[in-house]
Amino acid sequence: ERRADATPAGVKQKVINHPCYSNDAHHKYARMHLPVAPACNIQCNYCNRKYDCANESRPGVVSELLTPKQALLKAQAVAKAIPQLSVIGIAGPGDPLANPVRTMETLALIRAAMPDIKLCISTNGLTLVDHVDELLKLGVDHVTVTINTLDEVIAAQIYKWIYFEGRRYEGVEAGRILIQRQMEGIAALAKEGILTKVNSVMIPGINDGHLPELSRELRRNKVFLHNIMPLISKPEHGTFFGLVGQREPLTTELDEVRELAGGNVSQMKHCQQCRADAVGMLEEDRSAEFSIEDINPEP
């Protein structure tokens, strides 16, 4: 976690009550995710499409999809019940920016109704650069981008395909486009002063050795926080799209890579890989208490 004395004052203000960006804040403030974004524009080999986006969430979880209006009602109900609520994010169940109309409408409704709340989104980054202006206008000042590699050959093992500008790409070509777009996206965020966290899913034998090098590039691009997440591949979480039989990293391997990468970018170690409809403090999940049927029986 980041040392407070190394953080400039403007940035401190942005992270002070954000439970994910500040280790100190995560015992004091609550977050909620609004599951309004069902579609995805890429296929990660570690994703099972029946479940929430594995770039932010633990596998094996299915969140209840909401319309933007239902999302607003739920956010208002949660804010009333949990006064420590400081952050509302959109993290799935697919990729928020592959559903730009639903995502932007939700962010705009929340921004209008709850002007003081922090807004954030997570994305695979494929279309991020096209949306940075709009995110800025809506006051989204925290964005998480999942970047697993900067090497197109490694990328070809991690992604089955991407769908970009009306075409499907596979293999090294898909990797090249995705990486280029991700880097353009984080550069645009840095230019606008939007705080950026990068998630990387650590996949032993595929991208583990590359992650320290990746973190050097993230540093150059002013990424604030790097969250190296262990691949979770237990059979009870369902079959992956690809990567059949892929093992998870050992805790010692994860610690070692985080240590190496931590020399470049501060590491987030308290991420809970929350579901796309998570509610409450990071360590708890109160989503079941706020089912939309109870809040708004007539959608």
- Positions in the binding site for ligand SF4 (CB under 6 A): 20, 31, 40, 42-44, 47, 53-56, 94-95, 124, 271-274, 282
Q: How wide is the angle at C-alpha 21 spanned by C-alphas 26 and 124, nearest 5°? A: 125
Nearer Cβ to ligand SF4 (38/139)? 38
Which stretches within 124-269 are classed as H helix? Answer: 128-137, 152-158, 171-192, 211-220, 251-262
What residues contact 203, with CB distance under 8 A and at least 6 apart? 46, 148, 158, 231, 243, 246, 249
Nearer to ligand SF4, 55 or 127 (CB): 55
DSSP conformational letter for 51: S
Nearer to ligand SF4, 132 or 145 (CB): 145
Q: Write down the least CB distance from residue 4 to ligand SF4, Å.
A: 19
Euclidean distance between CA atoms 287 and 281, whole angstroms? 11
> Which position has the token pair 């790409």?
169
Query: Tokens 């691949």 belong to which residue?
Result: 231
Residue whose CB is less far from ligand SF4, 199 or 215: 199
Give which of 226, 130, 135 is closest to 185, Cα–Cα: 130
Report residue 55 as tokens: 């770039």
How much of the chain is in helix, strand and coil states, percent to nearest 5? 40, 20, 40
> Of the two residues 155 and 271, which places its CB atom closer to ligand SF4 in the complex?
271
Asked if residue 93 has a cis previous peptide bond (ω within 30° of 0), the answer is yes
Q: Cβ of residue 158: shortest distance to ligand SF4, in angstroms?
A: 9
Residue holding tokens 């090249």? 176
Closest CB to ligand SF4 among residues 47, 254: 47
- Between 47 and 183, CB nearer to ligand SF4: 47
Distance CA 237, CA 60 (A): 4
Question: Residue 104 CB, nearest distance to ligand SF4 (Å)?
Answer: 18
Residue 297 Cβ vs ligand SF4, minimum distance, rounded to whole Å:
28
Q: In sequence order, what are the residues at sequence separation of 6 or more whose Cβ sits closer than 8 angstroms to the Cβ of residue 219?
A: 264, 265
* Residue 246 beta carbon to ligand SF4: minimum distance, rounded to whole angstroms: 14
Closest approach, Cβ 44 to ligand SF4, in A, equals 3
- Helix, strand or coil, per DSSP, at residue 9: helix
Cβ 199 to ligand SF4 shortest distance, Å: 8
